[in-house]
Amino acid sequence: MIDKTVASLHEAVSVVRDGDCVLISGFGESGNPTELVHALIDHGARDLTVVNNNAGNGNVGLAALLESGNVARIVCSFPRSTASHVFDEMYKAGRLELEVVPQGTLAERIRAAGAGIGGFYSRTTIGTPLAEGKQRRVYNGEEFVLEDPLHADVALIKAELADRWGNLTYRLAARNFGPIMCTAATTTIVQARKIVPLGDIPPEAVVTPGIFVDRVVEVPNPVSEREMIENGVHYLGGRKP
Amino acid sequence: MIDKTVASLHEAVSVVRDGDCVLISGFGESGNPTELVHALIDHGARDLTVVNNNAGNGNVGLAALLESGNVARIVCSFPRSTASHVFDEMYKAGRLELEVVPQGTLAERIRAAGAGIGGFYSRTTIGTPLAEGKQRRVYNGEEFVLEDPLHADVALIKAELADRWGNLTYRLAARNFGPIMCTAATTTIVQARKIVPLGDIPPEAVVTPGIFVDRVVEVPNPVSEREMIENGVHYLGGRKP
Amino acid sequence: MTDKLTRRQVAWRLAQDIQDGMYVNLGIGMPELVANYIPGDREIVFHSENGILGMGPEPRDNEADYDLINAGKKPVTMLPGGSFFHHADSFGMVRGGHIDICVLGAFQVSSAGDLANWSTGGGGVPAVGGAMDLAVGARRVFVMTDHNTKTGEAKLVRECSYPLTGLGVVSTVYTDLAVVDVTDRGLTVREKVDGLSFDELQSRTDAELLGRETCGVLNSPEVG
Amino acid sequence: MTDKLTRRQVAWRLAQDIQDGMYVNLGIGMPELVANYIPGDREIVFHSENGILGMGPEPRDNEADYDLINAGKKPVTMLPGGSFFHHADSFGMVRGGHIDICVLGAFQVSSAGDLANWSTGGGGVPAVGGAMDLAVGARRVFVMTDHNTKTGEAKLVRECSYPLTGLGVVSTVYTDLAVVDVTDRGLTVREKVDGLSFDELQSRTDAELLGRETCGVLNSPEVG
């Protein structure tokens, strides 16, 4: 029998190892797997590469993961924000390697990894400093640059509904990076607001088929990073339970 | 106001011109826009390139379009079937040019065209005659071949529900090539079983966003090619109304 | 000193050039104002690159849902006919040429339509977001900007000195002084504010301006 | 003459090697038989490349729905937990290495695991379908085939003479005479039918066979 549900956040992230590349879903406040990220801090794997559209806010979630010192490198499209002080300080202090990738290229590189594509050509970055050193192709009179797939060891994903096969739906625009990140990691770990019986999600409504998912943990009332930041929460990490 | 609905099949396909490349959705019996294909025969545009997974069955739909003599070239993955006699005879007589593309490569080339990708690398065909002449890339120790996007002038698509913005859903596995073909054509023409009021399709349930769709015609009771073939129907084409 | 347009007036003027039925992406910040001034008889579908088509107006305060935000991470609403999709599909729309108009801000626009809007090239944290994708992907890129920087420097320049976002991508620039089209011959003034001479406009501009004989008056009503 | 297995017995034997929880694609034709012989305590998710995960058994005649067909274009049913997706996503699953096992037929399999199953190289209409995608994409390719052609020619060969479907892609071959693993050293017999000597099996095989000392008995019950 297939049962991808696990009982605890701790168990869910226990597979993460030192040196892993970790995809983290979310855009702004929507779709961040904050509980999984906090569990990863507690788990303590070090020397991580993390991939997210941004670089964290306040001192919670991804920002807290950076602050834990367990991240060596971050790949993102837009690390700056009004509350990205953790990233800003670490980057300026040279304690964090940064790879800036245009948002669409980032998404397509993740999708390519999941779909067995060994590179693709995009017009994005042509004429810009970010195209330097990239292989070119002219097709149909237009110039393109070669981009590599972005494979990961682990993906941490926030979803709305899940079932024991790992089928997922997402809430509103919280879908963002979730479906593609699920496909691109060796182990995909999901926190879902609700785990429903198999068959409750109609086959037409499944957004991420369970084939891309390895572990699902139910987090019925996920925290709001925005509210935590407003309330001055500083996640320092707990101990392994 | 946006209203992509058109009143007749004839009006829907009137945009097709001689020499166009036409994507036709469907796989086996599911998802074939048979009424649109018949309207295209009546419309009479010549020297077409058609793209479909297969090459038609019996003397209806795509097979009838081939038989009309209006197709110069077909791109597909599997032209052979027990009822592909129209294709078989024309191909053997040298009256039809054939490009055989592996099914996954065909799908990905269509998707690439819609997504602004100027080529991608795939391991599919490595070591086979279909890789001959293709540019290579070694990535991560594995060999890949370069595949081009497959752009089209027109796509003929069968959907289940549509609204006036062109948002679409598909029925069961009839989804197959529909969503990607909608993205890859200059003009996407859809026959939907039912046109519903705007807002009836929940935003999470939209499979093809209307941005990819240009014309929608309602065909409430689409024919079954299988039943037509069983009944010996031979579509010879009518006149323009 | 000639009256410049307010930012809201620039947004109003730009909005008049968005035709009924278009798919439009509004960049973060000043471009977001454009949504307020679409003529009432036009139905526009707004795209947000995080995965939304059919965005409606801001929600009332107590109805904000932070799973429904735009690219600027502000709460929005959905219109009937809207849809959600993932990031790869969303940027497929962008790169694939399905977005009719993208409105972006700019540090500099060159005579050839080159756009620089993501970095002033100094130190600091590099951050690009979706600007480069939108710049190459949208069928037309409208730039909305002050004509000059706060310190008086020209933003319409012969060559961009800042790192580029995209090469030859800009169609039209809407400033507080003029509407300027990027044409094969260079920057052509379509409209300028009343009372501003062509020479004065040129003096505020580094790039050579064309259209001295043909340009009209840039009218924009008082808008709130 | 030793008793060969029936096709159903080969399907049964292969089915025993599919582990609980695996994602499996069954090729068109003979491989489809495998679904009937999965041990009852194993939950397998069947993939069909036209865009289905979670296929169930054939429908009863009056319940066939031709919008719900498998890659062989035959009506199927859906199990709870199934899902639909488009062709690019479906082959993304395939190429991306998400399918645990694909079962294919073959004209020839070489000592190196090369597979030829789409063309005998003569005239006729070329047709490839999804075989090349499945061959390179599935984590393991199981081949299900008669050991010899109807005219007695070997299908396990030193080098394929027919055009290849994939290079070094086959993991294991299940024939009516033997189960043969493709290993770094070559084709290694894991099991052969009772009463068939290793020499007899080798004489029916073009490729050199290994495993003379270690191979076991290929048992498959009478199955209907």
Using an 8 Å Cβ cutoff, are A49 and A75 in contact? Answer: yes
Q: Is the pLDDT of residue A193 over 90?
A: yes
Give the model's pLDDT for residue A239: 53
Strand ranges for chain C from DSSP E = 23-26, 45-48, 52-56, 77-84, 101-104, 108-110, 115-116, 140-144, 156-157, 170-174, 178-183, 186-192, 209-210, 216-217
**D158 pLDDT tier (thresholds 50, 70, 90):** very high
Among B209-213, C170-174, D123-127, the range scoring the smallest mean pLDDT is D123-127
Direct distance between the N- and C-terminal alpha carbons of chain C, in angstroms, rounded to an integer: 23
Q: Which residue has the tokens 């010899």?
A: D148
Give the model's pLDDT for residue B241: 43
Tokens of residue C47, six digits: 């795209």
CA-to-CA separations, A196 to A4, A25, A162, A209, C102, in angstroms, rounded: 12, 21, 6, 14, 40
D172 strand-pairing partners: D142, D181
Q: What SS3 class is residue D174?
A: strand
Partner residue opposite A78 with nearest CB, options C68, C114, C128: C128
Using an 8 Å Cβ cutoff, are A225 and A174 in contact? Answer: no
Q: Which residue has the tokens 């490198």?
A: A73
**D2 pLDDT tier (thresholds 50, 70, 90):** low
Share of residues in chain B with pLDDT > 90 (%): 96
Calculate the CA A123 to chain-centre distance.
25
d(CA B4, CA B1): 10
Give B208's DSSP letter.
Answer: B
- Each residue of A17-41: pLDDT tens digit? 999 999 999 998 899 999 999 999 9
Inspect the structure and tell me whether chains C and D have 3 or more CB pairs less than 8 Å apart: no
Cβ within 8 Å of D, A 168-227: 183, 197-199, 203-204, 206, 209-212
d(CA B21, CA D36): 43
Give the model's pLDDT for residue C33: 95
Using an 8 Å Cβ cutoff, are A37 and A64 in contact? Answer: yes
Chain D neighbours (≥3 Cβ pairs under 8 A) are A, B
Among A124-128, A220-224, D171-175, D219-223, the range scoring the smallest mean pLDDT is D219-223
d(CA D19, CA D22): 6
CB atoms D73 and B173 under 8 Å: no
Mean pLDDT of chain C: 96
Q: Is A91 on the interface with C (CB under 8 A)?
A: yes
Distance from CA of C144 to the nearest CA of B (A): 24
Q: Is the pLDDT of residue D1 over 80?
A: no
Inspect the structure and tell me whether chains B and A have 3 or more CB pairs less than 8 Å apart: yes
**B236 pLDDT tier (thresholds 50, 70, 90):** confident
Using an 8 Å Cβ cutoff, are A44 and A70 in contact? Answer: yes
Strands D23-26, D45-48: pairing is parallel
Give B115's DSSP letter.
Answer: T
- DSSP letter string over A26-86? -BTTBT--HHHHHHHHHHT--SEEEE-SS---TBSHHHHHHHTT-EEEEEES----TT-HH
CB atoms A2 and D85 under 8 Å: no
CA-to-CA separations, C74 to A230, B119, C71, D41, in angstroms, rounded: 16, 35, 7, 50
Q: Is the pLDDT of residue A240 over 70?
A: no
Q: Is A27 on the interface with B (CB under 8 A)?
A: no
As a whole number, mean pLDDT of residues B100-104 equals 98
Distance from CA of D31 to the nearest CA of B (A): 18
Among B64, B33, B41, B36, residue whose Cα is nearest residue B176? B33
HSE on the CB side for B117, CA within 13 Å? 35
Give the model's pLDDT for residue C122: 79
Using an 8 Å Cβ cutoff, are C66 and C45 in contact? Answer: no
The DSSP H or E segment spanning A189 is: strand A185-195
Give the model's pLDDT for residue A99: 97
Q: Which ipTM value was assigned to this complex?
A: 0.97
A218 strand-pairing partners: A192
Using an 8 Å Cβ cutoff, are A168 and A178 in contact? Answer: yes
Kindly report the backbone phi and psi dihedral angles of residue D202, in degrees, each rounded to the nearest multiple of 5, phi listed first: -60, -35
- Each residue of B201-232: pLDDT tens digit? 999 999 999 999 999 999 999 999 999 999 99
Give the model's pLDDT for residue D224: 75
As a whole number, mean pLDDT of residues A47-60 equals 97
Give the model's pLDDT for residue C2: 62
- Each residue of B12-36: pLDDT tens digit? 999 999 999 999 999 988 999 999 9
Other CB atoms within a 10 A radius of the CB of residue C20 amount to 12
Chain A neighbours (≥3 Cβ pairs under 8 A) are B, C, D
Q: Is B194 exposed, middle or buried (0-12, 13-18, 19+ CB in 10 A)?
A: middle
Task: Give the number of residues written for chain A.
Answer: 241
As a whole number, mean pLDDT of residues C92-110 equals 98
What strands, in cross-sheet order, belong to the sheet with D108-110?
A: D115-116, D108-110, D156-157
Give the model's pLDDT for residue A75: 98
Q: Is A172 on the interface with B (CB under 8 A)?
A: yes
Look at phi and psi of residue B69 and say left if phi exceeds 0, alpha if psi is from -120 to 50, else beta.
left
Give the model's pLDDT for residue C113: 98
Using an 8 Å Cβ cutoff, are D190 and D180 in contact? Answer: yes
Using an 8 Å Cβ cutoff, are D92 and D137 in contact? Answer: no
d(CA C28, CA D92): 33
Among D146, C129, B230, C205, residue whose Cα is nearest residue A103? C129
- Each residue of D63-112: pLDDT tens digit? 899 999 999 999 999 999 999 999 999 999 999 999 999 999 999 999 99
Give B27's DSSP letter.
Answer: B
Give the model's pLDDT for residue A241: 42
**C223 pLDDT tier (thresholds 50, 70, 90):** confident
d(CA A222, CA A220): 6
Partner residue opposite A119 with nearest CB, options B115, B139, B149: B139
Mean pLDDT of chain B: 96
Q: Which residues, other chains included, contact C187 with Cβ-Cβ below 8 Å and sequence gap of 6+?
A: C111, C156, C173, C180, C181, C205, C207, C208, C209, C210
- Each residue of B160-184: pLDDT tens digit? 999 999 999 999 999 999 999 999 9
Q: Which residues of C touch A159 (CB under 8 A)?
A: none
CB atoms D43 and A2 under 8 Å: yes
Tokens of residue C28, six digits: 């973060």
CB atoms C133 and A103 under 8 Å: yes
Distance from CA of C78 to the nearest CA of B (A): 8
